[in-house]
A and B are shown apart, each in its own frame.
Chain A
């Protein structure tokens, strides 16, 4: 049983479209995250979310929005897609927000905007 699952694994779409990436974790973790990995493999936090608080990295355009229907899910919605949004997006979860708590990552979604 996959701990953190993301769908779809690959997503090819045209500029200007709106798309969503789904993420679910079955670990009972309190906190979930979205990371973006660019073409140089650099991983950057986009959002962190627990059932109390959404924290947004200020560099993330407001075209990106996380939606959490419940504690086990954190979906990523992207409006008006741009070429520069092409990247691999990782969902992750951790037991809590403590510094000792590692992350479990999903397998990633490769987004290509054409």
Chain B
């Protein structure tokens, strides 16, 4: 079963509007971290935002915020005031608290390709 599900393969948003990228996750651990990364066409992986499972407040970093709904196991990324430079692939990822073997490593969703229209 997929640990991280991103149901939107591609999305379009008008410049200056807000956009929400969906992410749901599956874990039985109480301790886990949720991460969002951006991959522009140049290929590098850029860390955007982090949410810990025990954090009561939603994480925010500039124009990025994470809508964390623990009971629903969702961690959606909200980008406010979209800019042309936001056009990229966006990956949701999770690290679980039980490490050893393959657990504890960062596991990625399949990504959402965001295109910002002028």
Mark A residues whose CB is within 8 Å of B. Answer: 33, 40-45, 48, 55, 57-58, 88, 90, 92, 94, 97-105, 107-108, 110
Residues in chain B near residue A57, CB distance under 8 A: 102
Q: Is the CB of B108 within 8 A of A42?
A: yes
Given contacts A40-B110, A42-B110, A97-B99, contact A102 B104 (CB under 8 A): no
Interface residues on B, range: 20 to 34
Q: How far is the CA of A40 from the CA of B113 in the complex (A)?
A: 11
A-B CB contacts (within 8 Å), total count: 70
Report the nearest A residue to B113, measured CB to CB. A41
Contacts of B101 in A (CB 8 A): 55
Do A48 and B43 touch across chains, with their CB atoms under 8 A apart?
no
Given contacts A41-B110, A41-B111, A42-B110, contact A33 B105 (CB under 8 A): yes
A43 touches B52 (CB 8 A): no
Query: Closest residue of chain A to B104, judged by CB?
Result: A97
Q: Nearest-CB distance from B4 to chain A (Å)? A: 10
Chain B positions within 8 Å of A, measured between CB atoms, are: 29, 31-33, 35, 37, 39, 43-45, 47, 50, 52-53, 89, 91, 95-97, 99-102, 104-108, 110-111
A55 proximity list for chain B (CB < 8 A): 100-102, 105
Contact of A45 among B44, B47, B106 (CB under 8 A): B106
A45 → B minimal CB distance (Å):
5
List, in ascending order, chain B residues with CB within 8 A of A58's CB. Answer: 102
20 CB < 8 A contacts A-B:
A33-B106, A41-B89, A42-B111, A43-B91, A45-B107, A48-B105, A55-B100, A55-B105, A57-B102, A58-B102, A90-B45, A92-B106, A99-B32, A99-B53, A99-B95, A102-B33, A103-B47, A105-B37, A105-B45, A110-B43
